[in-house]
A and B are shown apart, each in its own frame.
Chain A
Amino acid sequence: MAAALRKAMSFNSKTARWVNAWLLLSPAAVLMVAFTHFPIVGGFFASFFSTARPGRPSRFVGVENYTSMLNDPVFWQVLGNNFFYALGTIPLSVSLALLMAVWVNGRFRGRAVVRAAYFTPTILPMIAVANIWLFFYTPQIGLLDKIRSLFGLASHSWLGDPGTALACLMVLAVWKDAGFFMIFYLAALQAIPPELEEAAVIEGAGRWYFFRRITVPLLMPTTLFVVVNATIHSFKLVDHIFILTKGGPDNASSLLLYYIYEVAFSFWDTAYASTLTVVLLAILGALAVGQFAYLEKRVHYR
């Protein structure tokens, strides 16, 4: 009898703990399901329906949205732009970040000022800095053209030329992100034991040799982390497009998320915007899976 009671009690306290746990979790669960999981699943469903229009309710259309996406030249253009943008910004901002970290990690006068200069763009809103950069790029009166005119070069419409508009966005993105990625390299560099460098000096290894053969391999996990984050950034951060080019001319500087915004909130075609979002999520998902698979293979990752 007593044993049965104890059993019931312990069961009760266990259940009570479960209930407690779920109560603690419930606010986060409700919010996350509502604004992360539901939109992922709901968006996937919505991509198989047509957009509801006045007098024409939404109906199931199968893969019609996907076929029209494949036939949409703008989709291919923004996807291409986005890959080009990622390819152009990531290697540059990551290697600059490493360079900055190595410099700032050394001892010299004014180190704090240099570090602050590198890091400051990170805490400024993209919109604000785009306002400033817009003026650099303005034809004739902009700073860039003023400098060019010193060398007798003609004025150029940097943001209006399909050949240079995307590059203008890329320069801004590298400037904004390099200092952010720097701090992760800085943390990793500070974790490298100083004995390693002392030993290398005794062995007669030069600075460059040490950097190439010891520092860079030791920083591999950080590089992976930074590259994955930089890739996410390149698909997620489109604020500067709103100020600098609005995606133009002729979508030459539009990126996938900006196109999604346009389709959803300028053309009000939510079904097609959902279809495009599925592609964006597939890219981000593939990135997550790739990162995870890579980390599984590496035992040494912290």
Chain B
Amino acid sequence: MIRGVDEGERLEMLAAWLLAFLWAAPLLYAAWAAFHPMDFVSRFDLRAPLTLDNFRSAWKVAPFARYFLNTFLLVCMTLAGQLIVCTLAAYCFARFEFPGKNVAFLLVLVQIMIMPDVLIVQNYLTTSRLGLVDTILGIGLPYMGSAFGIFLLRQAFKQVPQELEDAARVEGAGWLSILLKVYVPLTRPTYLAYGLVSVSYHWNNFLWPVVITNSTTTRPLTVGLSIFGAPESGVNFSVISAGTLLAVSPLLIAFLLFQRQFVQSFMRSGIK
């Protein structure tokens, strides 16, 4: 009887590992192709010679250094903007009473369902009126007023005991120092969660950046990768794999090192 249960569970574990292997396979395969000569791209010989040539050619074929810089600037700029804008708005929604508050909050929630990603047509026209087409600021600006960030931080701020704010006020602290010295330090885990989700999102974002950029000096990694990986570019698969691994490596390494924080951040971001 008990043996039967054991048997079933062992079978389930086998299935779990099999699925895990299936899920890891594309990335493992890309690594195989990137570190071996092109001849071994679909010949799995353990004695195949290892090489870094593919990485060298990828780095030479496309301006990856520039793409990295662009993505880095984009991610930092967007996150910085989001943190400032969302902190102020979240504090307002958590602790202030004012006429129009409910309507304003409802309007914020609209963006949870309809993100700027689907509004590319009108946002392109707006960005071009602002003269920000083909700038890194133009890629990040539509995302800086983030409903998701406001919502997440507002929830966290509401958990902060009102007495702490009152005490700080008695000591003569203004709202800005209350915000910076009471609210922000007490809600650091929420900031970390939001930061991780935002950085991964904008590191990976493609549609809006491809619409709004048209030169090497502004293109982020994803857009660069799409040009580089296109069949017209005539680059072979080993080199494409190497380039792809290069582009994903910072985020991938960060994830493998801080797996728990990543999973928890994404989890927290979904539990509304």
**Alpha-carbon distance between A183 and B15 when the two chains are bound, in angstroms:** 19
Q: Is B62 an interface residue (CB 8 A)?
A: no
Residue count of chain B within 8 Å CB distance of chain A: 91
Q: For residue A128, which residues in chain B have a CB less than 8 angstroms away from its CB?
A: 222, 225, 244, 247-248
**Alpha-carbon distance between A143 and B226 when the two chains are bound, in angstroms:** 21
Contact: B150 with A28, CB < 8 Å?
A: yes
Contact: B247 with A27, CB < 8 Å?
A: no
Task: Determine the residue in chain B with the shortest Cβ distance to A133.
Answer: B26
Contact: B114 with A243, CB < 8 Å?
A: no
Given contacts A24-B88, A27-B85, A287-B113, contact A180 B23 (CB under 8 A): no
Task: Determine the residue in chain B with the shortest Cβ distance to A141.
Answer: B42
Most A-side CB within 10 Å, residue of B89, B121, B267: B121
**Alpha-carbon distance between A285 and B118 when the two chains are bound, in angstroms:** 12
Q: Is the interface of A mostly helix, strand, loop or mixed?
A: helix
Q: For residue B270, which residues in chain A have a CB less than 8 angstroms away from its CB?
A: 183-184, 187, 225, 229
- Cross-chain contact of B104 among A29, A39, A187, A285 (Cβ < 8 A): A29
Contact: A242 with B206, CB < 8 Å?
A: yes
Q: For residue B122, which residues in chain A have a CB less than 8 angstroms away from its CB?
A: 38-40, 42-43, 46, 274, 277
- Cross-chain contact of B226 among A20, A46, A115, A243 (Cβ < 8 A): A243
Q: For residue B241, which residues in chain A have a CB less than 8 angstroms away from its CB?
A: 131-132, 135
**Alpha-carbon distance between A232 and B261 when the two chains are bound, in angstroms:** 25
- Cross-chain contact of B206 among A104, A127, A277 (Cβ < 8 A): A127
Q: For residue B98, which residues in chain A have a CB less than 8 angstroms away from its CB?
A: 17-18, 21-22
Q: Is A74 an interface residue (CB 8 A)?
A: no
Residue count of chain A within 8 Å CB distance of chain B: 91
Distance in Å: Cβ of A10 to nearest Cβ of chain B: 14
**Alpha-carbon distance between A108 and B256 when the two chains are bound, in angstroms:** 20
Number of A-B contacts (CB under 8 A): 256
Given contacts A125-B225, A127-B222, A184-B267, contact A238 B207 (CB under 8 A): yes
Q: Is A30 an interface residue (CB 8 A)?
A: yes
Given contacts A123-B252, A128-B225, A184-B271, contact A100 B19 (CB under 8 A): yes
- Cross-chain contact of B20 among A43, A114, A207, A285 (Cβ < 8 A): A114
Q: For residue B142, which residues in chain A have a CB less than 8 angstroms away from its CB?
A: 31, 34-35
**Alpha-carbon distance between A288 and B19 when the two chains are bound, in angstroms:** 33
Q: For residue A236, which residues in chain B have a CB less than 8 angstroms away from its CB?
A: 115, 117-118
Most B-side CB within 10 Å, residue of A32, A236, A280: A32
Contact: B23 with A125, CB < 8 Å?
A: no
- Cross-chain contact of A39 among B126, B221, B229, B262 (Cβ < 8 A): B126
A70-81 near B? 1/0 per residue, CB < 8 Å: 000000000000
The 10 closest A-B pairs by CB, nearest first: A31-B145, A39-B122, A28-B89, A125-B204, A35-B142, A21-B96, A117-B20, A24-B92, A131-B229, A21-B98
